[in-house]
Amino acid sequence: MSTTAPRSTASPSQEDRLWTVEEHLEDILSTVRPLEPIELQLLDAQGCVLVEDVTVPVSLPPFDNSSMDGYAVRVADVTGASGEFPAVLEVVGDVAAGQAPGLKVGPGQAARIMTGAPLPPGAEAVVPVEWTDGGLGGGPATGMKARSKAPEGASGQVRVYQGAEAGAHVRRAGSDMKAGDRALAAGTVLGPAQLALLASVGRATAKVRPRPRVVVLSTGSELVPPGEPLKPGQIHDSNSFALTAAAREAGAIAYRVGAVADDAETLRTSVDDQLVRADLLVTSGGVSVGAYDVVKEALTAPEPARLEAGDGEEGDGEHGGAEPAAAGVDFRRVAMQPGKPQGFGLIGPDHTPVLTLPGNPVSSFVSFEIFVRPVIRALMGLPEDQLHRPRARAALDAGKALSSPRGRRQFLRGRLDGDRVTPVGGASSHLVGALAQANALIVVPEDVTSLEPGDDVEVVLLG
Q: State in angstroms the smallest separation of the CB of 148 from a second copy.
A: 6
Nearer to a second copy, 177 or 394 (CB): 177
Nearer to a second copy, 65 or 109 (CB): 65
Residue 111 in the binding site for a second copy (CB under 8 A) = no
How many CB atoms are located within 10 Å of the residue 419 CB?
A: 12
CA-CA distance, 189 to 50, in Å (whole number)?
A: 6
Looking at residues 124 to 143 of the shown chain, list those that interact with a second copy (rule: CB under 8 A).
Answer: 129-132, 139-143
Nearer to a second copy, 247 or 317 (CB): 247
- The gap from C-alpha 171 to its chain's centroid, in whole angstroms, comes to 35
Residue 416 in the binding site for a second copy (CB under 8 A) = no
From candidates 29, 292, 349, 389, binder to a second copy by CB under 8 A: 292
Residue 396 in the binding site for a second copy (CB under 8 A) = no
Task: Please choose, out of 18-26, 269-277, 286-294, 442-450, the segment that lies near a second copy by the rule CB under 8 A.
Answer: 286-294
Binding mask 32-51 for a second copy (x = CB under 8 A): ----------xx--x-----
Residue 91 in the binding site for a second copy (CB under 8 A) = no
- Closest Cα partner for 330 from 347, 346, 345? 345
Nearer to a second copy, 236 or 388 (CB): 236
Q: State in angstroms the smallest separation of the CB of 453 from a second copy.
A: 24
Task: Please choose, out of 148-156, 267-275, 386-394, 400-408, the segment that lies near a second copy by the rule CB under 8 A.
Answer: 148-156
Looking at residues 308 to 347 of the shown chain, list those that interact with a second copy (rule: CB under 8 A).
Answer: none
Q: State in angstroms the smallest separation of the CB of 323 from a second copy.
A: 27
Cα–Cα distances (Å) from 405 to 135, 273, 450, in that order, read 83, 40, 9
How many CB atoms are located within 10 Å of the residue 218 CB?
A: 27
Looking at residues 234 to 253 of the shown chain, list those that interact with a second copy (rule: CB under 8 A).
Answer: 234-239, 241-246, 248-249
Looking at residues 425 to 454 of the shown chain, list those that interact with a second copy (rule: CB under 8 A).
Answer: 428-436, 438
Task: Please choose, out of 225-233, 347-355, 388-396, 415-423, the segment that lies near a second copy by the rule CB under 8 A.
Answer: 225-233
Task: Please choose, out of 23-31, 256-264, 313-321, 347-355, the segment that lies near a second copy by the rule CB under 8 A.
Answer: 256-264
Q: Contact, 334 vs 340, CB < 8 A?
A: yes
How many CB atoms are located within 10 Å of the residue 116 CB?
A: 15
Determine phi and psi for 249, rounding to 5 degrees.
Answer: -60, -30
User: What does DSSP say about strands 213-219 and 170-171: parallel, antiparallel, or unpaired?
Assistant: unpaired
Q: Rounded to the nearest 5 degrees, what angle is found at the Cα of 124, between the Cα atoms of 118 and 129?
A: 70
Q: In terms of C-beta density within 10 A (0-12 exposed, 13-18 middle, 19 or more buried), how is residue 363 classed?
A: buried
Nearer to a second copy, 13 or 324 (CB): 13
Q: State in angstroms the smallest separation of the CB of 207 from a second copy.
A: 14
Task: Please choose, out of 31-39, 76-84, 377-385, 402-410, the segment that lies near a second copy by the rule CB under 8 A.
Answer: 76-84
- For the CA atoms of 356, 361, 365, 371, the dihedral, rounded to the nearest 10 degrees, stands at -20
- Closest Cα partner for 145 from 157, 154, 132, 158? 154
Nearer to a second copy, 9 or 79 (CB): 9
Residues in the chain: 463
Residue 12 in the binding site for a second copy (CB under 8 A) = no
Which residues does residue 118 pair with via DSSP β-bridges, in sequence order? 65
Contacts of 322 (CB under 8 A, 6+ apart): none
CA-CA distance, 442 to 392, in Å (whole number)?
A: 10
Contacts of 43 (CB under 8 A, 6+ apart): 195
Residue 55 in the binding site for a second copy (CB under 8 A) = no
Residue 412 in the binding site for a second copy (CB under 8 A) = no
